[in-house]
Amino acid sequence: MSGAIRALATGAVLAALCAAPAAAQTHSGSIGYGGGGIWFGSFGGASELKLEPGWVANLQADQWYWRGRVGARANVAFTQRPLRTGLDERQINTWFFDGSVLLRPVPPREGGSVAPYLSLGAGVVNYGFGRGRPVVLGDAVYPGSGERQLALVVGAGVDFVPRVVFLDTPLGLRLDFADHVTLESPFESRGGDAFGPVHNVRVMVGLIGLVGNR
């Protein structure tokens, strides 16, 4: 009997998810900006070679389709963080440029709601190490180029869409998490071997303006 009850419950959940597109999102796009924190993985090597964690600023633009269930996003983020190696400290400007596909399990409804989403995309992380002669830091080498690295981006977030209007623009709040994973480190070993991927984890709280109201 318990197996039948679990089967019926599972069927009810699946039916509810399939029926969810009937609740249409009330806007077709959004523009948001905000800030938060960022944490960096190691660039490689035996020593701890990575940027210090700290602040990050972010700008996003979304476009939604299919009643607000599927979307596309353009994202830009920036931070300036120190890179400390022994007695040396450098201020590194880092830019993130990427585009993602968005998927909402449940779209926001008229009257205010909470709308989570998942995101998957790709882009570029530009570490501001500059170009020039190779720089040796511990047992790792920055070859003088390659500060721009391709990255995969995976994330999730929640849009809070209340009944708030400012200058005829509906407003909402966004909590956004993303990991920008570069395919390779901008550093390499002294023998010229490439180091593995580098994680750049960003958490942001932002304000979004809803556009294209349906």
* DSSP string over 140-170: EEE-SS--EEEEEEEEEEEEEEEEEEETTEE
For residue 13, pLDDT beyond 50: no
H-helix or E-strand spanning residue 12: helix 2-19
Model confidence at 73, pLDDT cuts 50, 70, 90, reads very high
Write the pLDDT tens digit of every residue in 109-145.
665 688 899 999 999 999 998 887 888 887 888 888 8
Cα distance between residue 1 and residue 152, in whole Å: 46
